[in-house]
Every structure is written in C-alpha cells, then in structure tokens.
Amino acid sequence: MEDTKNNEGKIDAVLNICNILPARLFEETIKILSKIDKNLTNNILINKEGPIKIQFDNKEKKYFLGNMFNKEKDSYRSPYTNLYYPENFPNSYIPSDPLRSLEILYNEVFDRYRKAYYINGLSSVYLWPNPIEDGFVACFMIKKKENYSNNTYIDWEGTHLIQVNITHSIIHYQISTTLNISIVQKNETILSASVNKVLENPKKISDINLIKDKYFHIEN
C-alpha cells in the first residue's frame, strides 16, 4: 500500500512538471526520465499527448500532423493514405472499415473548420477503438504558425482528445483539450505556455440506431 502511494505521488509530481514545461522540452524530458524510471515514462505517455510533429505523405504529396496517437516506432500514420511514414510496418494499427470511414469524414470536416476559422495551418484527425466500452476515441490536432515580423513568430498547436462511451441509450463524451503556444524570436523561444481543459458531456438518445448516422457524433 505504501509503495502504491509513493508511486502515485511520483507520477503526480512528474505530470505536474510536464504540465509547466514548454512543449519543445517534452521529448528531452521523457528521455531523461526514462533513464531514471521506465514506469514513470509510461505513465506520462498515457496522460500527456506530447508535441505535434509535421510529417509528409509521399504518396499523396501532402503534409499531415503526428503525435503519440498515430505513431508506430518512429513512423506516423497518414490520414490520407492510411500508411505509415517514413517507414510503413505491415502489422501496424489501422482502423476498421467503419472507423476509417468516420476518420476520413472527420478529416474533411475539421479541415473545412480550420480553413474557415484559422485560414492556414494544418489539421489531422485519428480514430481508434475505445479500449473500455463500446464507442471509439478520436484525436483532433491543429498546428499553426503566425509571423509577426521577419524574425518573430507565434507557433501554436491544439490537441483535442475525445472519448466516446456508448452504454445502452446513454452516450458519454469525455473531451480533453491541450493548447501549446510559443513565441519564437531569432530561432529562440522567448515565451511559452500550455493550457489544458477537460469537459464531460453525457447525452441520452431515444433510439440507439441514431448513432449509425455518420454525422451524429459531429452534431453532438
């Protein structure tokens, strides 16, 4: 019991550190902590999304976003082709046909949203099965750079993690949003901040067949 409390205390302490660190130091911090305690590293990766990276789909000739949720070893799954880049692994995760259909739709919808509200930048959406209940988990990512002068720009990224739990006539949405913002001047970060917000929203539906509509979860 005492060991469990100590471990929980360590995990909370490390997560608090990661919450106040700039996103650019996340991977370096993970490497240092992994040398101290591998279990701590695993718990951080479960609870923290990590920085968003820009990747390139060689087949579609398009850029896409990657983080731990579409990562396999050192490669990332593209939302366009469902392939991993820079190296595709034969046994890597790919979503089932129903989830893949939703993933394609959500990427199209979120891309239109990005263009309407943010004009430029990149966005990507990834889906995978809910490991606990019926439903699924979705990760919506957006990354944008705003230039303010020849040598100063703001780099910001948002990760929206949505867990959809379906139980009888109740659909429970758990939403966690993390925003990372950095001001960079002459290639050096002079200011950075990270904000996290969590929201839970249960929805009661009259007919479970309503969820078969591909737009149902977007509207809710």
Q: Is the pLDDT of residue 97 over 70?
A: yes
**Where does the pLDDT of residue 46 fall: very low under 50, low under 70, confident under 90, or very high at 90 and above?**
very low
152 and 210 housed in the same domain: yes
pLDDT, the chain, mean: 81
Residue 23: DSSP 8-state? G
77 and 43 in a single domain? The answer is no
pLDDT of residue 116: 94
CATH number, position 120: 3.90.1150.210
Out of 12-26, 139-153, 167-181, least confident range: 12-26
> In 48-158, which ranges are continuous DSSP H helix?
97-118
Q: Domain range spanning residue 40?
A: 1-48
Same domain? For 10 and 96 the reply is: no
Query: Does residue 48 contact residue 27 with C-beta atoms inside 8 Å?
Result: no
Q: What are the residues whose beta carbons fall under 8 Å from the beta carbon of 135, sequence distance 6 or more?
A: 163, 164, 165, 166, 171
The pTM for the full model equals 0.78
- Total domains in the chain come to 2
Q: State yes or no: cis peptide before 51, omega within 30 of 0.
A: no
- Tell me the percentage of the chain whose pLDDT exceeds 90: 36
| Choice between 78 and 220, residue whose per-residue pLDDT is larger | 78
Task: Fill in the amino acid letter for 210.
Answer: L
Beta strands in 11-107 (DSSP E): 53-57, 62-66, 71-72, 75-77, 84-85
CA distances from 153 to 132, 146, 148, 150, 183 (A): 41, 5, 5, 8, 6
Question: CA torsion 60→66→71→76, rounded to 10°?
Answer: 20
